Amino acid sequence: PGASDQPIEYRVERVRDGRLFSSRTVDAVQNDKLIWRTLVSCSVDDYGGVGHSRQRPCISPPESALTIQQIAESDGGLGEYWDGFSSVEVRIAEVSESDVTLRSAAPERHLWLRVTEDLSDDRALHQAAVAYVSDLMMIGASVTPHGYTIGHENTLAKDWLAVSLDHSMWFHRHVRADEWILFELSTPTAAKGRAAIESSVFDGDTQTSHEQAVHVVQEAFLRRTTH
């Protein structure tokens, strides 16, 4: 794992440049050790072609959703991981766990997220911010089929060893990270301690497109530390 208080060197290697698509590998190196590798695939913005999308689900607006701090009150607060973490606002809709069948794929969970600072109109900056927040709640969603209430971060840290193994993202349409974004989280399956988690991301503005903006897929290692 990397250390947040030490510099990281990013090494970019050209893989392919075509008329419509380009790809690069990016290695993150810290203390002469590889800590992270990604493959980045880009395409021209004005390329036409077919298009389709699922529509944004009908979910209550963020103003009526509970904050993660409110949900965490019954769990003793958010815990050490969230200390001083004020750059992202998280609200959680549909917190009832009564519809969860243990050890079965849990129903989708819906979260509203946005960064708390105003950002410029730089699209790359918004993509980076969406990538940053996309990882926040996926591990929690992966253990909801095992009796976990999403937002109870103290219980998650105490009862589970959970680590993301990989993280993939597809940016289909533009979305602003400093405005409300709807994340629909699901975990269709897990086996041998490895869970698959998906997140569909939608613009929260009801006056704009209802089409899916980003798709996220993550694999996580899970192990219960308490019984």
pLDDT average, residue stretch 35-43: 93
Q: Is 102 a residue whose pLDDT tops 80?
A: no
Q: Is 140 exposed, middle or buried (0-12, 13-18, 19+ CB in 10 A)?
A: buried
Residue 20: helix, strand or coil by DSSP? coil
DSSP classification of residue 192: T
- CA neighbours closer than 13 Å in the CB half-sphere of residue 56: 24
**CA 5 – CA 204 distance, rounded (Å):** 34
Residue range(s) occupied by CATH 3.10.129.10 in the chain: 1-45, 61-224
pLDDT for 49 equals 76
Q: Is 152 a residue whose pLDDT tops 60?
A: yes
pLDDT for 105 equals 63
pLDDT average, residue stretch 159-181: 93
Report the topology of domain 61-224: Thiol Ester Dehydrase; Chain A (3.10.129)
Mean pLDDT computed over every residue of the chain: 88
Q: Cα dihedral sign for 69, 75, 81, 84?
A: positive
pLDDT for 197 equals 95
> What pTM was computed for the model?
0.87
Q: Is 227 a residue whose pLDDT tops 80?
A: no
pLDDT tens-place string over residues 104-151 = 566 788 999 999 999 999 999 999 999 999 998 999 999 888 888 888
Q: Order of strands, edge to edge, in the sheet holding 109-115?
A: 66-67, 88-93, 109-115, 181-191, 194-203, 212-224, 160-171
pLDDT tens-place string over residues 43-89 = 887 777 788 888 888 888 899 999 999 999 988 888 777 777 789 99
pLDDT average, residue stretch 8-30: 95
Q: Which CATH number fits domain 1-45: 3.90.1170.50, 3.10.129.10, 3.90.660.10, 3.40.630.20?
A: 3.10.129.10
Neighbouring residues of 35: CB distance < 8 A, sequence distance ≥ 6: 1, 2, 8, 28, 29
pLDDT for 103 equals 53
Share of the chain above pLDDT 70, in %: 92
